[in-house]
Structure 1
Amino acid sequence: MCEVEYRDYVDLKKEEKSERLGRTCMKCKEGSAVLIIRVGDAFCKSCFKDYFVHKFRAMLGKNRVVYPGEKVLLAYSGGPSSSAMIHQVQEGLGRDTPKKLRFIPGILFIDEGAACGQSWKQREQNVSEIQQVLQKTNFPFHIVPLEQVFTLPQSVLQSASPGNPEHIGNYKRAVNSFLGQQRAHKEDELSGTAGELAQLCVTEYECGNTLPNDGTYSHPPVELTSALMEMFNSARTLTAKLELLQSLRSHLILHVARTCGYSKVMSGESCTRLAVHLLANISLGRGAFLPLDTGFSDDRYGDVVIVRPMREYSLKEISFYNRLFNVQSVFIPTMETKAPENSSIQHLSESFITKLQEDFPSTVSTMYRTSEKLNVSKKEHAEENIQQEKCLICMCNLDTRVGEASAFCATQVSQNLSQRRPKNDTEPTRDLEKQCCSSEQCCERSTSCSSSVPRTQDFIPLLCYSCRVTVKDVTSVSTFPPYVLQEAKLRSRRLEIRNEIQEFLLD
């Protein structure tokens, strides 16, 4: 019965494909259609551009997160989605653009070649292509190697209060204030072209010595490159490597945004990419953080908000737009390039959704609409965002602070019981503790070791459930960047002191 229904479905799809030839535009009813987005949505070239531009600006106008005059950092990866996002921002800041954008853009590209095992020659070639593309935008841009995470300060892992609390709920007042400043300072010509607008506001950046703001790129030290490769080599699975890469990339973007005064970061995830993230994050145990990982705005950091204006677009729409309007993108190999489907949970989820989308075109949109309904209570989230303990890696509120009668605690009890050693195995452990840091294994097993490197058992309680699963696939936490280890040591000490004085604390 199922085979008969599937054959009927295939025959119906063939008939629909033959009927699509020679169709007219569904909007203007005059021009011939050059593409069909969904089953019945046929557009000509000009109508498709209007549709694409309107969706981008409607997404920003509907949510009202980006205020006029704010500095916004555009996270660029070289891919088609982020390239289309920069192109939309570039056109939205034009002189004669209706409903023009009024924020101050900057671009950030992170070179991840060392984590992917690329040679320095390959990395130089990729960076040169990126520079050629970004120089055409006339926006200020930064090109930072991923090795920079080993020089980040410890304050990166600390949440801060929102930068402009008076703007919250007063979007119209902020717009009127900005327009008044424009009229009062006509000599600044803030209503000029995109390049003029960017050049007027670049001079106020206060970047650190390790972060040039002129788009230059220098060879990172060999010690940092080897430390980065050692950290990724310590991860046993590709799933853990991708999770670590995502976390380090987020920390570096957050540091650049705070250093250069950006209050918003625009990320270019498409609807298709967010659908993959939805399925992969549920498989990785990040179901509690889906509103932050896949929603329009992510305010887990407090003073810097991540915005995803491309989340309404499918990958098909973005690909057609870039092809029709000559939007240039740069292909850069990643860890998942040429990897088998079952090499990681993320890659397997992507393969599953892509294949399902071929036969059932509403798959991605259905998953996207599902993720859109997941929200966090804004009042409770605003109060708990600073007060609750944060995960040491993903910086989300810890989801492991639950009652004793929970599935998580039952799992922990089972793990502790299974890891207990017999009584006759305690003697070798005592002899090992006397060696005091003669090797890295001593730091991981010894209980009386005075090393500054935190042990894995002290590192685990500071993580959420998903990051605990990731760290279990890492052979040694001593390969993590120094700012993570220092923060882990500080939090573990605070936790020990709190447990000692717990009975004297008031509720």
Structure 2
Amino acid sequence: MCQVAEDYQQQLERADVLSVSKKCVKCKAASAAVVIRAGDAYCRGCFKENFIHKFRAMLGKTRVIFPGEKVLLAVSGGPSSCSMLSQVQEGLSQNAHRKLRFVPGIVYIDEGGAVGQSKEQRWRTVSELQSLFRTTGFPFYIIPLEQVLGLPSSVVATASSLSDRPTSAYKAAVDHFIQTGSKNDETAQDTKDTSPANVPESQTHLLQQLIGSAQTLTAKEDLLDKLRQHLLVHTARTEGYSKLMLGDNCTRLAVKLLSSISLGRGAQLAQDTGFSDSRYGDIISVRPMREYSAKEIAYYSHMFRVPSVVVPGLDTRAPDKASIQRLTESFVTKLQAHFPSTVSTIYRTSEKLQTACGSPAAADGCRRCLLCMCALDTAAEKASALQATLISEQLSHSACPATSSGILKQNPGPVKAESTAAGRCCSSAGGEDCGGTAGGGGCCSGKETSDLKSLLCYSCQLTIRDMSSVNCLPHYILSEAQRRQRRTLMREEVSEFLLDDGDEEDTSV
């Protein structure tokens, strides 16, 4: 306890602060050039060696990418994806210590039409990325986002998967690769370059109408993310790639984990933040940069001059409270500045997450969401929080609160007149806008949205609910929704003639 006569005149000890003048924690000889975390001070050579080792160790220990496989690198132009491209380029060089064994390709999705950029701005960005991609010598594909409007319905269908190959298959592939030799060098560079000038104005207008149909920036970012993923998967399938490599770093995944929970996407966290994502079956997405923080990537890009291109997005110059994703990013980055273990703690939590349909074999028996292609999480019991939320939503969006069955029995006269007036569709009066009440959601828009709800997960339902009209969605999504609804109706019609597992066992006996 503090005493009255205690002497407080002695000087307080000062904690030692890390400085770049200290020695490297690895080689113990050279002076430290960068401090990543408290106590992790590296010199220039050890920092580069550690950076390269983490990338190749992540690919080596997971054994997801087989030797000789074609891998498509999704490069957005940012520091994280460009650092990933630099690591692949260095790993395939002749003087690499442990040379990578896959065949890479590059894809860039031009989202300038959705953001509202002019053709000159889009052309300037594409030109910078073209010069960057040509220096690598890899085949590259520059595809505008407008092409997502003409995709086939097979994009939102799960194809056959080859990810359940045994461990011996990887060893056999390595032995075969060593015996045959690394004959993966392509003489002709395959490129697919669709310049912004060649994109019709009508397609850009339809894309802007689709993104603009979302009322909030949260829904716009979520919808744009799903469309981008569909176009990446379609490009990988059509060009013969079996793996899709993404540049999500540790900081980005930590933000994505918290924002996904806020958006009701907790059941899909294992696929959204894990190393591998096999929701599409034949195309597996991998995230080899998930061990790197944004600070570590920024230091590496600056010290070793990794080129990158600044590409504006929907949330560029947006305030912190503009969307849930933007608010979560601001919260995590500010907390990380004062508590350096914030991102790593959130990231380590994501590593322990699993889902019931995490494996492709288990996912075959699960119903898939029409947008995100994850297993549906809406098959809940009646006494659940989801059902209570849906009932509250139905009551809050009803045109007349007095139309409940109890009130109808007590006072049928006035309510009948109000329900008749509210039951008239605004389109019958010749109006083009079915806005309903001041709260939004008229009778026509509610009818359009209700047909898709049974095919979407809870989070995608929230995104569709924020859209003014589902008719703005691409044709491949609407046609796939109609096909699934027809199959559901057909199954209900013949359900009494189908045999379940128990009946099959009795018949076999």
TM-score band, normalised by shorter chain: 0.7 to 0.9
- CA pair 16-118 structure 1, distance change in 2 beyond 3 A: farther
Match for 1:489 among 482, 504, 508?
482
1:199 aligns with 2:203: no
Aligned to 2:96: 97
Q: What is the rounded CA distance, in whole Å, between the counterparts of 1:13 and 1:154 in structure 2?
A: 68
Aligned to 1:408: 386
Aligned to 1:398: 376
- CA pair 436-357 structure 1, distance change in 2 beyond 3 A: same
- CA pair 265-51 structure 1, distance change in 2 beyond 3 A: same
Match for 1:221 among 195, 200, 217?
200
Match for 1:308 among 266, 287, 291?
287
1:437 is displaced (CA, Å) by: 10
Q: What is the rounded CA distance, in whole Å, between the counterparts of 2:68 and 2:189 in structure 1?
A: 13
CA contact 2:265–2:459 (8 Å) conserved in 1: yes
Q: Please give the secondary structure, in 2, of the residue aligned with 1:199.
A: coil
Q: What is the rounded CA distance, in whole Å, between the counterparts of 2:187 and 2:90 in structure 1?
A: 17
- CA pair 44-226 structure 1, distance change in 2 beyond 3 A: same
User: 1:149 is aligned with what amino acid?
Assistant: V
TM-score (normalizing by structure 2): 0.86
1:14 is displaced (CA, Å) by: 8.5
Aligned to 2:169: 170
Aligned to 2:505: none
Aligned to 2:277: 298
Aligned to 1:23: 22
CA contact 2:73–2:107 (8 Å) conserved in 1: yes
CA contact 2:105–2:140 (8 Å) conserved in 1: yes
- CA pair 282-434 structure 1, distance change in 2 beyond 3 A: closer
1:459 aligns with 2:452: yes
Aligned to 1:5: none
Q: What is the rounded CA distance, in whole Å, between the counterparts of 1:150 and 1:416 in structure 2?
A: 32
User: 1:127 is aligned with what amino acid?
Assistant: V
More divergent stretch after superposition (70-79 vs 159-168) = 159-168
1:472 aligns with 2:450: no
Q: What is the rounded CA distance, in whole Å, between the counterparts of 1:160 and 1:215 in structure 2?
A: 27
Aligned to 1:85: 84
Q: What is the rounded CA distance, in whole Å, between the counterparts of 2:295 and 2:362 in structure 1?
A: 39
Aligned to 2:212: 233
- Provide, for residues 444-469 of structure 1, a one-character-per-residue CA deviation record: whole Å limited to 9, x for no partner: 9778x9xxx98211011110011111
The root-mean-square deviation of aligned C-alpha atoms, in Å, is 2.7
1:503 is displaced (CA, Å) by: 4.8
Residue ranges of structure 1 left out of the alignment (5+ in a row): 1-11, 183-188, 191-196, 204-212
Q: Please give the secondary structure, in 2, of the residue aligned with 1:341.
A: coil
Q: Please give the secondary structure, in 2, of the residue aligned with 1:462.
A: coil
Q: Please give the secondary structure, in 2, of the residue aligned with 1:37.
A: strand
1:314 is displaced (CA, Å) by: 0.5
Q: Please give the secondary structure, in 2, of the residue aligned with 1:65.
A: coil
1:406 is displaced (CA, Å) by: 1.8
Correspondences of 1:1-12 after superposition (within 5 Å): none
Q: Please give the secondary structure, in 1, of the residue aligned with 2:364.
A: helix
More divergent stretch after superposition (216-225 vs 357-366) = 216-225
1:124 is displaced (CA, Å) by: 0.9
Aligned to 1:193: none
1:357 aligns with 2:350: no
1:163 is displaced (CA, Å) by: 4.1
Q: What is the rounded CA distance, in whole Å, between the counterparts of 1:490 and 1:281 in structure 2?
A: 29
Q: Please give the secondary structure, in 1, of the residue aligned with 2:289.
A: coil
Correspondences of 1:278-289 after superposition (within 5 Å): 278-289=257-268
- Provide, for residues 200-219 of structure 1, a one-character-per-residue CA deviation record: whole Å limited to 9, x for no partner: 4867xxxxxxxxx3445352
User: 2:108 is aligned with what amino acid?
Assistant: F
1:376 is displaced (CA, Å) by: 3.7
Aligned to 1:498: 491
Q: What is the rounded CA distance, in whole Å, between the counterparts of 2:185 and 2:312 in structure 1?
A: 30
Match for 1:389 among 361, 367, 376?
367
1:167 is displaced (CA, Å) by: 5.9
1:498 is displaced (CA, Å) by: 3.4
User: 1:483 is aligned with what amino acid?
Assistant: Y
Q: What is the rounded CA distance, in whole Å, between the counterparts of 1:392 and 1:198 in structure 2?
A: 38
CA contact 1:140–1:198 (8 Å) conserved in 2: no
- Provide, for residues 86-129 of structure 1, a one-character-per-residue CA deviation record: whole Å limited to 9, x for no partner: 00000001112111100000000000011111111111111111
- CA pair 50-151 structure 1, distance change in 2 beyond 3 A: same
Q: What is the rounded CA distance, in whole Å, between the counterparts of 1:257 and 1:79 in structure 2?
A: 21
Q: What is the rounded CA distance, in whole Å, between the counterparts of 1:168 and 1:109 in structure 2?
A: 33
Matched residues, number:
469
Match for 1:248 among 191, 206, 227?
227
Q: What is the rounded CA distance, in whole Å, between the counterparts of 2:122 and 2:453 in structure 1?
A: 34
Q: What is the rounded CA distance, in whole Å, between the counterparts of 1:200 and 1:277 in structure 2?
A: 40
Residue ranges of structure 2 left out of the alignment (5+ in a row): 1-11, 404-415, 436-440, 501-509
Q: Please give the secondary structure, in 1, of the residue aligned with 2:359.
A: helix
Correspondences of 1:60-79 after superposition (within 5 Å): 60-79=59-78
Q: Please give the secondary structure, in 2, of the residue aligned with 1:105.
A: strand
